[in-house]
Amino acid sequence: MEKQQAQQKIAELRKLLNQYGHEYYVLDNPSVPDSEYDRKMQELLKLEESFPELVTADSPSQRIGGEPLDAFQKVQHNVPMMSLGNAFNESDLRDFARRAAQLTDEPISFVCELKIDGLAVSLTYENGTFVRGATRGDGTTGEDITSNLKTIRSIPLSIQEENTLEVRGEAFMPHQSFLKMNEQRQANDEEPFANPRNAAAGSLRQLDPKIAGKRNLDIFLYGVGEWQAGSLESHSERLDYLQELGFKTNPEWLKCETIDEVIEFVTYWEQKRPELNYEIDGVVIKVDNLTQQEELGFTAKNPRWAIAYKFPAEEALTTLREIELSVGRTGVVTPTAILDPVRVAGTTVKRASLHNEDLIREKDVRLGDQVVIKKAGDIIPEVIRPVEEKRTGDEKEFFMPDDCPECGSELVRLEEEVALRCMNPNCPAQLKEGLIHFVSREAMNIDGLGEKVIIQLFRENLVHTIADLYRLQREDLLQLERMGEKSTDNLLKAIASSKENSLERLLFGLGIRFVGSKAARTLAAQFETMEKLQEATFEDVVAINEMGDKMADSIVSYFAGDEVKSLLNELKELGLNMKYKGAKQQEIEDDTAFSGKTVVLTGKMNDFTRSEAKALVEKLGGSVTGSVSKNTDILIAGEDAGSKLDKAEKLGVTIWNEQQLRDVTDD
């Protein structure tokens, strides 16, 4: 295809994909199935790969996320992002309306908007293109999180507005995404996020945009900072115009002519908030007329023309009947309160988190207690406190058992930990959770072998260990629910294919404590074979960059276990690959141009793809990062190198061209 034809086709695909994305993520009314969107996206990616000079910042392909950042850059807000004063009752709202009325001669109308509990951000567009996104920070200075915000599909990368426009909104995590993410974190023995707001804020402050991209965040736009988009007379008109430009605004706003109507709106949503798929913690009330907003002005901290009504946290009283124990993948035993059913924040709650034994002791929670519960972030129920004055004397203290509730092995508390653990690697509960982790996407990636299938396999006594997965027969799988001949054959192929995975996937899948996917890759590259890793000493492991004492101790202890040695022997006999297939440490020369150097790649290269250049640098001992900083040793600049080249020159970084890279690799 000629470049001109490609340019025309790319423009058509971008227009279609932007339309499909807007329909799906903003209007919630998709016009095509997901498969059609995916097909068009793949077509665009292939064309942009063939013609990289045609890639632009507003292409839908640029949402995927670039290289991890070294740190966030500071951003000055030209118009400060001020916080709002708070109202907690009807009297506070009437006082707000009275004060506003005293400062202007004309009648006041208000706009009421739901107060989204997320992270306040600003988005700047120049010549219609999204160029910068930032956190609120202290109101004057925020952090540049443009790469992370681009992963939010409801943020348009381009708009039909040539003037500079800075819009403001609240990025948030929908309930469904929050629950799914916490389930995954708990399965990986990671601390779950306390509420959707913390989850959204934590996601947008990840240095790796790909992490933010997996978190399924969303946004509602509610206002502006810099505004050169023509003269509008009211805040309500601005909301309409933002929607016309393609921004996602919350549909549940209302223009109110009196403060009584405002109070009705607040009361309505205080009751209806559980029906929403996102978290709100109140209602924002603004004077609608923009001229009146200017008349009212600001105090030292807040605008006089707006206020935030804060909902009280909803709590409920119920009886704690039992404490149930569950065993996770790493053996942690977690207590959960079993309660008399009670309504909290719109749903019936029967179970609530107690976290660990120390918390039970600290709160003095007893079996039979009347307890106060609430939903953390209005989602996860937790026990707040017992009502001691309601005790009858029949309540009983709870003590964690000495033995595992699943397998009967002795429970231990490791040094500096509050959790009790079952240390038996053959504990059924751990095996089941461990298998679910083992087959997951980042581990062995066995497609079709999800949690429900694993549970069935356990229930039918078809698997007890990881090795059993590789002994499954066709007739074993056909007896399971919803497993037909085609799905069975596909699953067996996926299991067989997983045997060829590189060593790092197997290491991560084994679920060694403290060893995530990145550490597994580092270990695999360093030791190259499972046999060498098994023979490694504490000193061998801790000498590796980024391997601390705890991780090294965990790794050495894991491979010292007889059960682990037996399991690995079984897996080897069953044909699983035990070698690292990436660039090997032994191939890296001790003294090369890149040994120990931090390298940044930028611009278009003719003889290398970006991934090929990165692999070559790493093979020769270098570390490739995505942004230029004072720690950068070499910048390799191809054609059309932009801001990274400018920054490297200012910092005095050594700059190479593609020919110099070619010369080094030819040697």
Mapped onto helix, strand or coil, the DSSP state of residue 604 is strand
Query: Cα–Cα distance between 156 and 27 in angstroms, integer?
Result: 13
Q: Is 493 a catalytic residue?
A: no
Query: Cα–Cα distance between 204 and 134 in angstroms, integer?
Result: 10
Query: Cα–Cα distance between 612 and 608 in angstroms, integer?
Result: 6
Q: Return the bridge partners of 113, or none.
A: 284
Q: What are the structure tokens assigned to 273, written together? A: 């908030």
Query: Cα–Cα distance between 400 and 411 in angstroms, integer?
Result: 9
Longest Cα–Cα distance of the chain, Å, equals 87
Choose the catalytic residue: 40, 115, 150, 375. Answer: 115
Residue 518 amino acid letter: K
Query: Cα–Cα distance between 583 and 521 in angstroms, integer?
Result: 11
- 278 close to 218: Cβ distance less than 8 angstroms: yes
Mapped onto helix, strand or coil, the DSSP state of residue 337 is strand
Query: Cα–Cα distance between 322 and 319 in angstroms, integer?
Result: 9
Q: What are the structure tokens assigned to 632, written together? A: 């950068």
Residue 88: HSE in the Cβ half-sphere, 13 Å Cα cutoff: 2
End-to-end alpha-carbon separation of the chain, Å?
Answer: 36
Residue 93 amino acid letter: L
Residue 122: HSE in the Cβ half-sphere, 13 Å Cα cutoff: 29
Active site residues: 115
